[in-house]
Structure 1
Amino acid sequence: MEASDVLMMELTRSVKAFLQVFHAALLVSLTIKRTKHDIKASHGVASADGI
C-alpha cells in the first residue's frame, strides 16, 4: 500500500469522525432549542409577543 493511500484512508476516517461529532452536536442544539421553545410556549400561553 502506498503512502498516499494510507493518507487518504486516515483523512477519510477523520472526516467521518468529525461529521459524526458535528451531527451529534447539531442534534443536541436543535433539541435544546425545541425544549426551550416548548417551555416558553407552555409558560407563556397568553403572552403578548406570541413566542
Structure 2
Amino acid sequence: MIVLVALFFAVGYYNLTAVELIAAVLIFSWIIVFLPITEAARADGDAPTTER
C-alpha cells in the first residue's frame, strides 16, 4: 500500500504530506494490532503446562 501511494506521489497525484500521513497511519495501525497479539502469545507461553 505504501509503495502504491509512493507511486501516486511520483506521478503527481498525491503530495508528500499525503504520502507521509498515509504511511504513518498504516504503520501505527499495524503496531496497534501487533502489540496485543504478541502480548497474548507471551502470556500463553508463561502459562504452566501439564505436559511431561
Larger Rg: 1
Question: Same fold by TM (over 0.5)?
Answer: yes
| Structure 1 moving runs of 4+ over 6 Å | none
Count of paired positions: 39
Q: 5+ unaligned residues in a row in structure 1: which ranges?
A: none
Say which structure, 1 or 2, has more relative contact order (CA 8 Å, 6+ apart). 2
Distance across 2 between alignment mates of 1:24 and 1:14: 17
% identical aligned pairs: 5
Paired amino acid for 1:9: L
TM-score with structure 1 setting the length? 0.61
Q: 5+ unaligned residues in a row in structure 2: which ranges?
A: 1-13
